[in-house]
Structure 1
């Protein structure tokens, strides 16, 4: 169980790092372009950052997490990481 929780922590932490990169790039792009689409991607990244920060906070501070919840949360964090990795790849390409 602790291995799954550690994996979820790592995934959430990596998501935060990648989202920081995306927020920086998309924020700079919005300042230059001022389009609704660019603003939409920036706001999306900020909300996703907040969700991952909250998840990581719970992963680090919760005394006990129900075992039936840890596995699905890990799967969601990893799937989310895949999407964020792809967005980062497309953005940096």
Structure 2
């Protein structure tokens, strides 16, 4: 089961990094263009970053929940890993399209 735990942690960490970069890009674009679309993307990245940072805190730091996550049955971690992995691919694609 430890492979699922490690993959979920790494995937969540990658999501945090991707969201920081996307937030920077979208924030810079908002300051340049002042459009509602870029503001919406920036707000989206802030909320999703907060969610992923909180999950990463639960995985790594919180004394109660960190232990609980490590003691859960494997299907829970598999589902979490799939969700975080798909989110990583989606955010990587958004970063690729936003990079221009």
Q: 5+ residue gaps in structure 2?
A: none
Residues 1:45 and 2:45 are matched in the alignment: yes
TM-score between both structures, scaled by the size of structure 2: 0.87
Aligned residue pairs, count: 93
CA distance in 2, matches of 1:69, 1:10: 16
CA distance in 2, matches of 1:40, 1:64: 35
- The answer to which of 61-70 and 49-58 deviates more is 61-70
CA distance in 1, matches of 2:13, 2:98: 20
CA distance in 2, matches of 1:70, 1:58: 13
Specify the SS of the correspondent of 2:23: helix
**Deviation, structure 1 residue 64:** 2.4
TM-score between both structures, scaled by the size of structure 1: 0.93
CA distance in 2, matches of 1:18, 1:34: 23
Greater than 4 Å deviation, 4+ residue runs: none
Which of the numbers 50, 67, 81 marks the counterpart of 1:63? 67
Aligned Cα root-mean-square deviation (Å): 1.0
CA distance in 2, matches of 1:73, 1:55: 11
> What is the match of residue 78 of structure 1?
85
Q: 5+ residue gaps in structure 1?
A: none
